[in-house]
Every structure is written in structure tokens, then in C-alpha cells.
Chains A and B, each alone.
Chain A
């Protein structure tokens, strides 16, 4: 075998090992979730579904799931409206403070979530607002907005503006151009931006830990509290459900939108 073949074999081995590293925790948790006993053991001596039943019946997980759905639905929808509108303005218009607003809205990509969470907590306290859903939703909107903004902005860049010009020159008023040309053409970008925002919001943990209370805690916060207090495999069972649901959602997103294009890792051509 020549040196090129050897290099190729080494490369494939490295990639396979890395993929194994990425998959390892998920596989191990999958095994642990079906262990019949409460103490970790590999391989398990007996198998059981009972931790799934226990996890599904656990009140904090149920409440966390419900709260998470409320927060995610509100936050990702608000972020989509705000982000898409601003992305449109960024792409179509030039105006003062355009780059400033964009810079501030993209900042949560590098500002630690615990700082943002602490900020919203202090802000709510100073304004005398209760630690209710509104604070949690506001915090999540800010955290997922950069992803929506980017996703919609990329779609707008790839949109041929001549469609809009054609509609306008045929006499369509601006509102009509927006609703019957721009928005339908943007639909894939809008849906994938919303999906991204929803997945990220549902999983957000650090900032949520600061801004949620016992009443509003989301699923990741409930899971964190569980891990700190108990060691039984219920948490493994929840993790398995989480991993399966997320992978399924991503596979669907990949089939419909082409994940590679959304993430900008392959050419749009």
C-alpha cells in the first residue's frame, strides 16, 4: 500500500474514533436506563423498563416538561417574529444604529449565560416583577434571538430580490409583496429558524437556573435538581427519551431543509 492509502486509513480510523467518542455517552446512558437495579453496573445484571415509568410519573419532571413547553412556545415564537423582522430590515434597508442593534443582539453568543441569567434576575427584582414566566420568556428570547437572526438572514441573502421588484413593478403594494412574495419564499428559513430556537430554548439550562423559581422551573432545571439529590437511573431514562426525541427532530429537519445548508457547512448551490 502506498503512503496515500496509509494516510487515508489513518484518517478514517481517527474519524471513526472521534465519532465513537461523541456517541459513547448516549450509548452508555441507553444501557444504564434499562438497568433493573438502582446502582450502576456494566453490564447490568437484569433489565427493566421501570425507570421510564418512574420518570414519567415523577411530578417535577412532568411540571418541568409542561413549563418548558410554555416557555419554549412563547420564546421561540416571539424570537422568530422579532428576529425575522429585524433580519428583513438588516437585509433591505440601511439606517442609523443598524450595526449597533445587530451587535447587541448577537452578543449572547459570547456572553456567558450565567451573566445574562443573573442580569435578568436582578433586573426583575429591581423592577419589582415577580419571578414568573414573563422573566423566563424574556431571557430565553434574548438567548435564542442570535440563532433566528442568523438563520433568517442567510435565507434572505439567498433570496433573489428580483421577485420582490417584479411584484412591486406589477403594482403590488409593499404589504402585499411582503405577504405574497417574500414570506412564502422565506418559509424554509423561517421554519428552520423557529425549530432551532425551540430546541435551544427547551434545552437552555444555566440562565434558566437563575431566572426560574420552583413554580416555573423548566425540564433541564428539574433534571439538574434530580441529579443532585438522587442517583437512580430515572435520570438515564429521561435522558434516553430526550436524546431520541432530539435526534428524531434533527433527522426530520435534515430531510426537509438540509441541515448542512442551515448550518452553512456546505454550499447552497
Chain B
């Protein structure tokens, strides 16, 4: 192979990493089909009991809750992320561009724990929002925002906003502003030209952003754990609790497998549902 001098050396480490990931996922899958022996860390024989147990109302509820939280988070993030992404791409002032970029992107790199803790300080009963509202006399008792869906979704929107903005901005930056100008010179108002030109052309970014936000929210652990405080449980919290509080690793594994299947099903569904849209924007 004269023209591929480093093929083996360059591909085999990556292949090894891919193998490690597959082995780890296979381990989860294998554990999900094993019986739980109370008091033992070793799993028992093959069984489908774990998956049958998943249909209990308690667990089905957590799955529905998780889906609901993921969907609301993804859509809210899209709604507040779009204007920012548009401003980021279309502003001509380099200082404003850098400022928006750094402000929006920094939370992406902060990690879930710091961000979640910050939101506890903002949303808590003697937190920032309640203190301000009490001082202004707008409320008499602190609003309960911790341990609620509202609190969890607010913090999760903050977590997913950077990646949403990055994906939307990437799509918007590929739209030639001349298209908008052309529409407007033909008499379309700014709202009409946005709705008929910019928005449809940015569909690939919207789809990528929403699916990624969905997957990331599904993956969130610290936020529902600390802000949900046991009142709002997501699949991740249940997996951790089963693994480290009851040492029921087989059941934790089956929850993970079900979660993985669900994530991929939702992603595939979104892709399929939006394929006609992508066909429109392909040319």
C-alpha cells in the first residue's frame, strides 16, 4: 500500500477506542438481562425480569416525565436561542460578536455541577429571585421554584443554550443575506422575509439543535438530582440511585438500555418527520 503509509498506525488506536466503547455498552446490555441477587454485586442468570419491571407505573412515570422535560427544554431553548444565534451571525460589530460568543459559550465549558449550584443560589427560597421579589414587595412568601419542573427546566435550558446557539449560528451563517435583501426588494416585509426565507433555510440547524438539546437533556444528572431534589426524577437519577443506593446494577443497566433505545427512537422520529423540510432546503 504505497499511498497509504500510516494506515495501520493511524487507524488502530481509534479502532481500539471504538472497541472499548462497544465493549462498555455491551457490558450494560449484558447486565440488563441478568438477575439481581440482593446483597451481591455479581449478577445472577439470564432473565427478562428487569425489562418487565420497567412497565411498573412508578418507572413508566419517570420515563414520561423525562420525555416531557427533554421536549420542553429543547423547544424553550430553540425559542430563546434563535434570536441570539441570528444576532451573533448578522451583527457587523466585531466587539459585539465576540462578546455574544464568549457570554453564550462559556456556560458550555463550566460543567453541570457549577451551573446547577449557581441556579440553586438563584432559585432557592432565600435565593436571588425570591429576595429581589420580596424586597420589591411583589410577593409575600417566597415562590417555590426548587424541587419543581419549572426550576429543573430553567436550569436545563441554560445548559443546552450554548450548543443550540452554536448549531443555529452555523446554519444561519451559511444563508446568503442577499436572499433576504432580494425578498425585501421584491416587496416582502422583514417579518415575511424572515418567515419565508431565513427560517426555512435554517431548518437543518434547527433540527440538529433540537435533537442535540434533547439528547443532552436526557443525559443530564446533577441538575434534576440537585434542583429536582427527589421531587423531579429523570432516568439518570433512577439509574444512579439503583446502582449506588441499592446496588441493583442489573436493573440500573436495563433502565439505561431502555433510555438509550428511547433516545435513538426519538432522534430517528425527529429525523424522519423533518426529512421533507430538509428536501426543501437542499438546493
8 A Cβ contacts from B112-140 to A: 112-122, 124, 126-128, 131-132
Closest-by-CB residue of A relative to B42 is A125
Contact with A along B18-49 (1 / 0, CB 8 A): 10111111011001000000000100000000
Q: Tell me the A242-269 residues at the B interface (CB within 8 Å).
A: 242-243, 246-247, 249-251, 254, 259-260, 263-267
Q: Known contacts being A25-B122, A105-B14, A114-B221, is A142 close to B105, with CB within 8 Å?
A: no
A242 near B110 (CB under 8 angstroms)? yes
| A101 touching B173, Cβ below 8 Å | no
Interface centre among A40, A88, A235 (most CB of B within 10 A): A40
CA distance A238 to B114 in the complex (A): 9
Interface membership of B283, Cβ < 8 A: no
Q: Is A28 an interface residue (CB 8 A)?
A: yes
Encode B241-262 as 1/0 by CB contact (under 8 A) with A.
0010000010011001001100
Contacts of A142 in B (CB 8 A): 17, 20-21, 24
By a CB distance below 8 angstroms, the chain A residues around B240 are 114, 209-210
- For the complex, give the distance between the alpha carbons of A107 and B118 in Å: 30
Q: Are B114 and A254 within 8 A (Cβ)?
A: no
Partner of A223, one of B31, B117, B243, B252: B117
State the majority secondary structure of interface residues on B.
helix
Instruction: Give chain A residues whose Cβ lies under 8 Å from the Cβ of B177.
Output: none
> What chain B residues lie within 8 Å of A42 (beta carbons)?
126-128, 131-132
Grouping DSSP codes into helix (H, G, I), strand (E, B) and loop, the A interface class, with mixed when no group exceeds half, is helix
Stretch at the interface among B94-102, B195-203, B272-280: B94-102
A118 touches B122 (CB 8 A): no
Residues in A with CB closer than 8 Å to B232 are none
Q: Contact check, B9 vs A120: say whether CB atoms are below 8 A apart.
A: no
B171 to chain A, nearest CB (A): 9
Q: Which of A11-19, A45-53, A55-63, A183-191 lies at the interface?
A: A11-19
Nearest opposing residue in chain B for A95, CB measure: B7
Which residues of the partner chain A approach B127 to less than 8 Å between Cβ atoms? 28, 40, 42
Complex interface: chain A residues within 8 A of B190 (CB): 3-4, 7
| Size bracket, chain A contacts | 35 or more
A206, B222: Cβ atoms under 8 Å? yes
- If A18-B80, A115-B256, A265-B166 touch, whether A206 touches B14 (CB-CB below 8 Å) is no
Measured between C-beta atoms, what is the minimum distance from B224 to chain A in Å?
Answer: 11
Q: Which of A4, A112, A254 is the most central at the interface, judged by chain B CB atoms within 10 Å of its CB?
A: A112
Say whether A122 contacts B249, CB under 8 Å: yes
Give the CA-CA distance A141 to B256 in the complex, in Å.
Answer: 21
Q: Are A246 and B110 in contact (CB under 8 A)?
A: yes
Asked whether B263 is an interface residue with its Cβ less than 8 Å from the other chain, the reply is yes
Asked whether any CB of chain A lies closer than 8 Å to the CB of B206, the reply is no
Residue of B nearest to A100 (CB): B18
Q: Does B236 contact A (CB under 8 A)?
A: yes
A170 located at the interface, meaning its Cβ lies under 8 Å from any Cβ of chain B in the complex: no
Partner of B11, one of A83, A86, A209, A250: A86
Are the CB atoms of A101 and B18 closer together than 8 Å? Answer: yes
Q: Which residues of A are found within 8 Å of B25, using beta-carbon distances?
A: 111, 115-116, 119
CA distance in complex: A250, B109 (Å): 9
Q: Are B122 and A112 in contact (CB under 8 A)?
A: no
Complex contacts, A118 vs chain B, CB 8 Å: 28, 239, 243, 249, 252-253, 256
A202 to B109, CA, bound (A): 9
Please pick, from B87, B118, B158, the residue contacting A29 in the complex, using a CB distance under 8 A: B118
Set of chain A residues within 8 Å of B84, measured between Cβ atoms:
15, 18-19
Q: Is B5 an interface residue (CB 8 A)?
A: yes
Instruction: Give complex CA distance A65, B242 in Å.
Output: 28
Q: Tell me whether A265 and B122 are in contact in the complex, defined as CB-CB below 8 angstroms, given that A11-B87, A142-B20, A174-B5 are known contacts.
A: no
Write the residues of chain B forming the contact surface with A, with a CB cutoff of 8 angstroms. Answer: 4-7, 9-11, 13-15, 17-18, 20-25, 27-28, 31, 41, 80-81, 83-84, 86-89, 97-98, 100-107, 109-122, 124, 126-128, 131-132, 158, 161, 166, 169-170, 173, 189-191, 211-212, 215, 218-222, 226, 235-236, 239-240, 243, 249, 252-253, 256, 259-260, 263-264, 267
Q: List 22 A-B contacts (CB under 8 A).
A: A26-B106, A26-B107, A28-B121, A40-B124, A42-B128, A89-B11, A110-B263, A114-B236, A114-B239, A115-B260, A118-B252, A202-B111, A209-B221, A210-B243, A236-B121, A242-B110, A242-B111, A243-B110, A250-B106, A263-B170, A265-B166, A267-B173
